[in-house]
Amino acid sequence: MICKLEKKDIEEFKTTNILPQTPFWGRVKRNQGFIPKGFELTISKDLLVGTANSLEKKGDDLLVLIKYVDNNTCFAYVPYGPKLEPTFENQGLFLEQLSESIKSFLPSNCIFIRFDLIWENQWATEEEYFDSTGNWIGPPPNHTQEYRINFNTVNWNLHKSIVDYLPKNTFFLDLTLTEKDLLSNMRYNTRYNVRKANKIGIKVREYGIEHIEEWYKLYHETAIRHNMSIQNQEYFSTIMKNQDNSKKGVSIKMLMADIDGEFLSSMFLVLTKKRGTYLYGASTSCKNDLMASYALQWESIRISKEWGCTEYDMFGSAPNLNQAHPLHGVHVYKKGFGGNLYHGMGCWDYPYNQKLYELFRIQEVKK
């Protein structure tokens, strides 16, 4: 067996940059109806480095969330995990072994396990998947992806999911750079808007849970404007209440930008180990010319840097500059801050009950 699992209390997890693999994420998701389970995962090092001694082992924590579809069936979901990333040729083998190893720890009525992989997309490293302007055109069709991922597996049972839950494309900023260099790396218009907002008096401050209603008003307006699914106010209160308030865990900062006491833009900044993450953002449609969202984002970057973070995750964008993509505007805005675009693998499934899994996929297509 190339991987080994042992149960572990999620509150005993080691600190990590990856927010959805923290005890905090498990606590928040428990309030949303998931059942969190923790494991210590140990694998052969030669899966990660082809030249490693196969007797060497490497371990890490693994958060798994159980979600019941109905009273009789459930599925397992691994958000941005496993964190350990094998070489491309071993990815399918690793996921197959992990899926089979973890099966006995899951409810007997679990119909599949879904891995929301943060691993770099295999096709984002191949020139043929970029156009003449350098834009990534995306991976090949699902059946082609599945053929490559299942190569070298025993059961040929890994399937590209119908949907991806967490963002698989995002921009990362290098916070080891000086503030001067970070500003210099921005596009001209972005840098101009940051300075304009500061010059006209936009103020960015951190607020506590007592201002959650002001946050929610901006969020609700934004969700309606962009036709997004809407979370209730209690969801965001839960996020604030479940933070660790420690550099050893997860710290949440609810930042809001205002002018003369009128809130124009807001966000949740999440600090995990050495990474700052722009988790949620919201803004009013009024007074866009004041560029409050630019001042807010820049202050969030500065706070992350002061906290000791070495990277900043914009947490979601379009995969390229295709104007037809629903996240095109978000992509252009985030790209302006000068980060590097990263493409992940997205969600992959390993069915335990093929018949029920196919029925579940049909329902996902209909949604």
Mean of pLDDT values over 175-184: 97
Angle at 63 between CA 209 and CA 240, to 5 degrees: 0
At residue 56 the predicted structure's pLDDT band, cuts being 50, 70 and 90, is low
At residue 145 the predicted structure's pLDDT band, cuts being 50, 70 and 90, is very high
Same fold, 3-168+344-366 and 176-309: yes
Q: Is the pLDDT of residue 259 over 70?
A: yes
**Nearest CA to 169 among 356, 335, 21, 348?**
335
Give the separation between CA 59 and CA 84, rounded to whole angstroms.
8
Beta strands 74-79 and 311-313, pairing class:
unpaired
**H-assigned helices in the chain:** 23-30, 91-102, 142-150, 179-185, 188-199, 212-225, 233-241, 292-307, 328-335, 354-366
Nearest-10 crossing angle of helices 142-150, 91-102: 80
Q: Quick one: tokens of 244?
A: 């660790």
Q: Is the pLDDT of residue 52 over 50?
A: no
**Nearest CA to 351 among 148, 142, 90, 73?**
73
Q: How far is CA 317 from CA 30, 91, 253, in A?
A: 27, 25, 22
Q: Does domain 176-309 have CATH number 3.40.630.30?
A: yes
Q: Is the pLDDT of residue 322 over 90?
A: no
CB 31 within 8 A of CB 236: no
pTM: 0.93
| Sequence spans of domains, the chain | 3-168+344-366, 176-309
Mean of pLDDT values over 110-135: 94
Q: How far is CA 366 from CA 67, 159, 222, 326, 359, in A?
A: 19, 18, 26, 19, 11
Nearest-10 crossing angle of helices 212-225, 233-241: 130
Q: Does domain 3-168+344-366 have CATH number 3.40.630.30?
A: yes
At residue 240 the predicted structure's pLDDT band, cuts being 50, 70 and 90, is very high
Give the separation between CA 223 and CA 227, rounded to whole angstroms.
6
Instruction: Work out the percent of the chain whose per-residue pLDDT is above 70.
Output: 96
CB 266 within 8 A of CB 219: yes
Q: Give tens-digit pLDDT for 333-343.
A: 999 999 999 99
Q: Give tens-digit pLDDT for 61-110.
A: 999 999 999 999 999 999 999 999 988 999 999 999 999 999 999 999 99
